[in-house]
C-alpha cells in the first residue's frame, strides 16, 4: 500500500482494544488491517497522573496520528502485536502486555442489528452520535480532530476484554479495571467496560 496518501478522506479499518488497569494505566490499541499507511499497530496510553503517550511503529504514523490526537509524549518503538488463543500479546517498547479477549459483548449484540454499510456511513454516524454518548458516556461516533479534521467511528462488532497482565516502564499494570476516567486523546473515549471493537475510522481533512 502507498505510504504517501494524497486523498482528503482517509479510511482505517481494523480493531480498537480498550482496557483499564488497577495501576491506573489505561490502554487503547489500534490494530489496523487496512489504512493509507498499510497495516500497522499503534498504542495510545494514559498514565495514572493523566499524562498521555503515543507509541507508534514509525515516524510517518507518529506524525499523522499525533497531528490528529493529543499526546504529551510521542515515541517511535519496535511494536509487535501477536494474536493468541487467549487474545493478544503486545510488545511495544516500555509496554509489555498480554490481554485476554472473550465472547461477544452486549454492545456487540446490539451492533449486529445495523447493516455494516450503514454502520460505516458518516451521515449515520453523525446522526447517532448523541445517542452513542448517552449509551456509552465518554464515547462518540463523530467529532472534530486535530488540524481541522473531522473523524467518524463506524463500529460493527464488539467482544469483551476479560483480563490483562504485564508491565509499563518496568512497573506492573496490575489487573483489569474499567477504562475510567475516560481517555482524552481526541473527541471520544472507548467505552468504560473493557472491550475490543471492529471499526472503520474515516478522517476527513479540509480541502
137, 139, 132: which is closest to 188 by C-alpha? 139
17-62 confidence digits (pLDDT tens): 999 999 999 999 999 999 999 999 999 999 999 999 999 999 999 9
DSSP-derived letter for residue 111 is: H
Give domain status of residue 171, yes or no. yes
Three-state SS for 66? helix
When divided into structural domains, the chain yields a total of 1
The boundaries of the domain holding residue 89 are 9-183+193-204
Q: Contact, 110 vs 104, CB < 8 A?
A: no
- Contact present, 66 and 14 (Cβ < 8 Å): no
For residue 116, tell me if it sits in a domain. Answer: yes
At 4-27, the pLDDT tens digits run 344 488 999 999 999 999 999 999
pLDDT at 127: 92
The answer as to whether 1 is a domain residue is: no
Displacement of CA 28 from its chain's centroid (Å): 5
Whether 66 is in a domain gets the answer yes
- For residue 139, the model assigns a pLDDT of 79
Q: How many helices (H) and strands (E) does the chain have?
A: 4, 13
In a domain, 77, yes or no: yes
- Cβ-proximal residues to 185 (8 Å cutoff; 6+ apart), any chain: 28, 44, 46, 52, 69, 70, 71
Look at residue 96 and tell me if it is in a domain. Answer: yes
Give the CA diameter of the chain: 45
Cell of 161: 476484554
Residue 2 counted as domain residue? no
Amino acid at each position: 500500500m502507498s505510504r504517501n496518501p494524497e486523498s482528503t478522506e482517509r479510511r482505517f479499518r481494523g480493531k480498537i482494544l480498550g482496557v483499564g488497569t488497577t495501576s491506573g494505566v489505561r490502554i487503547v490499541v489500534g490494530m489496523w488491517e487496512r489504512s493509507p499507511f498499510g497495516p500497522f499497530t499503534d498504542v495510545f496510553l494514559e498514565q495514572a497522573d493523566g499524562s498521555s503517550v503515543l507509541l507508534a511503529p514509525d515516524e510517518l504514523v507518529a506524525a499523522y496520528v499525533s497531528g490528529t490526537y493529543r499526546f504529551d509524549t510521542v515515541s517511535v518503538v519496535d511494536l509487535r502485536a501477536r494474536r493468541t488463543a487467549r487474545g493478544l500479546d503486545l510488545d511495544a517498547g516500555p509496554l509489555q502486555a498480554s490481554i485476554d479477549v472473550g465472547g461477544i459483548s452486549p454492545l456487540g449484540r446490539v451492533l449486529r442489528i445495523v447493516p455494516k454499510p450503514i454502520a460505516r456511513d458518516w451521515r449515520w454516524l453523525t446522526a447517532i452520535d448523541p445517542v452513542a454518548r448517552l449509551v456509552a458516556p465518554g464515547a462518540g461516533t463523530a467529532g472534530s480532530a486535530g488540524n481541522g479534521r473531522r473523524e467518524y467511528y463506524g463500529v460493527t462488532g464488539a467482544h469483551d476484554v476479560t483480563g490483562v497482565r504485564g508491565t509499563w516502564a518496568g512497573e506492573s499494570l496490575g489487573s483489569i479495571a474499567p477504562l475510567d476516567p475516560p481517555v482524552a486523546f481526541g473527541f471520544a473515549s472507548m467505552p468504560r467496560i473493557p472491550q475490543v471493537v471492529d471499526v472503520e475510522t474515516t478522517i476527513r481533512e479540509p480541502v
